Chains A and B, each alone.
Chain A
């Protein structure tokens, strides 16, 4: 939810740093893939680019549940360490971005990422770029052929106080965007205290054992195993 500042203050927004985090409530996700579609529309991506990908997971009881997987924005990011040219970097708000004007396309980061969150631009992006298109790490639209792209937590939205495309597209309010500094999270309808949301629902981080310290938390609830948490 955008925070409404008085006009005078909005001109010079407070310089408070945020530390972005995401919470995904698996109890609510119904696998409609609206988040994926919204992401692809926002970033002019082809169908095969699922920066937030919804997996259907078979659990041991024979049932299944849905699990959206964005970039985990790891605090100890394996992709960041292996990049030979520092095209992948972490912002001071904890978001991992890719400078596609520097990336050489070696795909080492794709081998390193334990979540398969990175996508290589084998071909040109589907839509012809607008004549004003100026891709930057904060707004990588259109994607650049021969380089690697991935979920960038819509920093082009959050910088303006807007929600990431996937969060606002989710009709089930299963996706939350939060700030660890202010300890607040919102799914577009409700705004809650982030720490209570995580604690009360036994949130876990995927593949916690790898030590990557993801900024994305999951809330289990369909009988799936609680990992890490």
Chain B
């Protein structure tokens, strides 16, 4: 009777590991090999992992890439506001996001339809208000706003009660202390339960090997955000974690030509986002699902 193939595979791996260790292989390679979860790492481990990732990406893209592991700022929970009366559907946010966050421009084999967009702008009838049954993300009019239409950008709502986090079988996704829901790309097994659980269509799966030309790469990355992703993992909007934890606004906020976007710290009563919630009538998307989004829509 032939040996169990799985068992044989496991033995082979164990032997390789032992061999790597015996030949004086760098610790970080071993750590990456056994895949410790980012959440469980001590600071020294994390620093080694970041350095290893920087080396890997710099080599892969033949240019200097930084991978930050900046933790959440104390006393900060991020909130986002979006003025639906000012959004004109020009999609500047969508493409600023793609460039900032290193989304796949299509499959490595050249299929542009595999491109990933973290922001979806829905075109809706003015007469119907916010009505998903009559919305169109593929609108293609020559100019916007088209007569009788209004626009509804959707991205990750950074829910306080996030269904995507609950369904993950391997705890590869979680909410950080500043409210940002992140994915550990090294630990995601690609089961796509979270994609199915998210009521906002905000999670995206790398069905194919991503295509990210080196000259289009944003080399300033965060380990939980816009670092290049492999095939087979889920990714999502992180409120530009690499920017916002460094004090900057998210890329979509800066790109919006109509100034429809408001961003700030929900714990700071003087922040624009708190002023927004205090003074405007805001609503959250699909409030009946009790997901408690930190993304607030309003009509300015």
Q: Do A and B come from one complex?
A: no
Which residues of A are in contact with B by a Cβ distance under 8 Å? none
